[in-house]
């Protein structure tokens, strides 16, 4: 199985401009993500996808592979889909978010493991949901699954509603995705959908168009860098780990 890992890296982020190049200890964030992806034995090739010369120069400087993409893309998935067209030999494509410097090879292997056994449309990753801290938190996306580990729904709201006491197959969704190559090309052409727009969750577009997403399990979430405050937290974590 030939699997391509693509790291979409947008320099002009609205919430955090220049985010891929922020320094965490002695390396820019994009290098942290690239090195984590390179350490995953399931990937045949790893590339950074960007429309920024600054990001491209940085990646080449640390010895990474980079692909220049259109600046008109609205989402990271669109950027990944453009790059995937250049690698027809690849059977599956992983979208490794460029704002997750602490992603691990184990998590990435878990993400793509269904492709080593079959050809699902799409996979994503989830971990146990902390009911005390994240059930009511709109920044912690929840995913409900069926008995075959397929996503039923993603939401920022607390789901399901526990009218009766008990357990439910609800997990904390992590923003990592993998696609069968031909499905990714189709996905890039799908029109936006009402639930996607209401929740602000792009993956709902897949479910609303009638496709399925396999939800793979991992042990715990890792910090995403979305704001300068997250960056300070990341630097603190690195400092503590080296003490």
DSSP 160-222: S--SSSS---EEEEEEEEEEEHHHHHHHTTPPP-HHHHHHT-TTHHHHHTT---EEEE-S---
For residue 154, the model assigns a pLDDT of 98
For residue 155, the model assigns a pLDDT of 98
User: Which of 95-104, 139-148, 164-173, 231-240 shows the lowest mean pLDDT across its residues?
Assistant: 231-240
Dihedral angle over CA of 106, 111, 64, 50, nearest 10:
-150
For residue 41, the model assigns a pLDDT of 97
User: Where do the structural domains in the chain lie, given as residue ranges?
Assistant: 3-242
Q: What is the pLDDT of residues 138-168, one digit of tens each?
A: 989 999 999 999 999 999 999 999 999 888 9
Q: What is the pLDDT of residues 187-206, one digit of tens each?
A: 989 999 999 999 999 999 99
User: Which of 7-11, 88-92, 116-120, 225-229 shows the lowest mean pLDDT across its residues?
Assistant: 225-229
List of residues 6+ apart from 165 with CB closer than 8 A = none
Judge whether residue 125 has pLDDT over 90. yes
Residue that has been written with the tokens 């996306």 in this structure? 141
DSSP state of 120: -
CATH number of 3-242: 3.90.550.10
For residue 243, the model assigns a pLDDT of 54
Judge whether residue 21 has pLDDT over 90. yes
């Amino acid at each position: 199985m030939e699997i391509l890992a693509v790291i979409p890296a947008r320099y002009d982020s609205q919430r955090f401009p220049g985010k891929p190049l922020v320094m965490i200890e002695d390396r820019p964030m994009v290098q942290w993500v690239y090195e984590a992806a390179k350490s995953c034995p399931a990937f045949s090739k790893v590339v950074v996808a960007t429309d920024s010369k600054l990001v491209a120069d940085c990646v080449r400087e640390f010895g990474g592979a980079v692909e220049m993409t259109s600046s008109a893309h609205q989402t990271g998935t669109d950027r990944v889909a453009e790059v995937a067209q250049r690698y027809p030999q690849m059977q599956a494509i992983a979208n490794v978010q460029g704002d997750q410097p602490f992603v691990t090879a184990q998590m990435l292997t878990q993400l793509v493991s269904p492709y080593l056994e079959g050809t699902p449309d799409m996979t994503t990753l989830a971990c146990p949901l902390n009911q005390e801290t994240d059930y009511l938190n709109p920044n912690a996306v929840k995913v409900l699954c069926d008995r075959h580990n397929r996503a039923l729904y993603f939401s920022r709201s607390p789901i399901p509603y526990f009218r009766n006491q008990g357990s439910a197959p609800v997990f904390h969704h992590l923003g990592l995705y993998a696609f069968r190559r031909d499905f990714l090309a189709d996905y890039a052409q799908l029109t936006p959908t009402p639930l996607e727009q209401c929740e602000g969750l792009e993956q709902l577009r897949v479910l609303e168009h009638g496709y399925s997403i396999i939800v793979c399990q991992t042990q715990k979430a890792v910090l995403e860098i979305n704001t300068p405050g997250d960056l300070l937290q990341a630097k603190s974590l690195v400092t503590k780990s080296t003490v």
